Amino acid sequence: MTALVGVIMGSKSDWSTLSHTADMLEQLGIPYEVKVVSAHRTPDLLFQYAEEAADRGIEVIIAGAGGAAHLPGMCAAKTHLPVLGVPVQSSMLSGVDSLLSIVQMPAGVPVATLAIGKAGAVNAALLSASILGGKHPQFGKALQDFRSQQTDNVLNNPDPRQA
């Protein structure tokens, strides 16, 4: 199956965060691709990627970036696909800069903005499963199984002193 989720990031330095997205997509069995696409260093590539993604079969784009994180918003400006933005935890401002750069989109060009760092990266994959689940029931089922197992893990191990 060709990739349904495109995971893009502004720099190789973002991979330590977006690798959590890739891990969760693999766990859910969702076909995906990963690529460095920088809004600032490779703007023409960003436009090309966003414009061609739907025709290549991509159904959801997950875009992670840090600092002046323009990648998700500019990607959303060039595609009608759902764009999920993951703010990478930056070293100078702990990712608050990334979050604020992604979240406050003008009405008309939405980006679904996740939490800063690993939690946002994992949840972007889970949210993509929710989106894909309508058209591809197997991914909705994989998501439900993950959630059930997560619940069971908590219920079956309530003692905080035990790992």
Per the annotation, binding residues are 11, 14, 41
Contact, 112 vs 83, CB < 8 A? yes
Contact, 146 vs 126, CB < 8 A? yes
SS3 8: strand
Q: How far is CA 25 from CA 5, 65, 129, 162, in A?
A: 9, 19, 8, 29
Interface mask toward ligand RP5 for 68-107; x: CB under 6 A: --------------------x-------------------
- Closest to ligand RP5 by CB, 4 or 71: 71
- In whole angstroms, give the CA distance from residue 85 to residue 106: 15
Indicate the annotated binding residues for substrate: 11, 14, 41
Sequence-ordered list of residues with C-beta below 8 angstroms from that of 56, at least 6 positions apart, any chain? 2, 3
- In whole angstroms, give the CA distance from residue 131 to residue 29: 14
Check residue 11 for interaction with ligand RP5 (CB under 6 A).
Answer: yes
Q: How far is the CB of 11 from ligand RP5 (least distance, A)?
A: 3
Selected range binding ligand RP5 among 64-72, 79-87, 106-114, 153-161, rule: CB under 6 A? 64-72
Q: How far is the CB of 56 from ligand RP5 (least distance, A)?
A: 23
Selected range binding ligand RP5 among 55-63, 65-73, 77-85, 123-131, rule: CB under 6 A? 65-73
- Can you tell me which residue has the tokens 């959801």? 60
Binds ligand RP5 by CB under 6 A, chosen from 22, 24, 65, 75: 65
- CA-nearest of 113, 131, 120, 139 to 25 is 139
Q: How far is the CB of 66 from ligand RP5 (least distance, A)?
A: 3
Residues that bind ligand RP5 (CB under 6 A): 9-11, 13-14, 38, 40, 65-67, 88
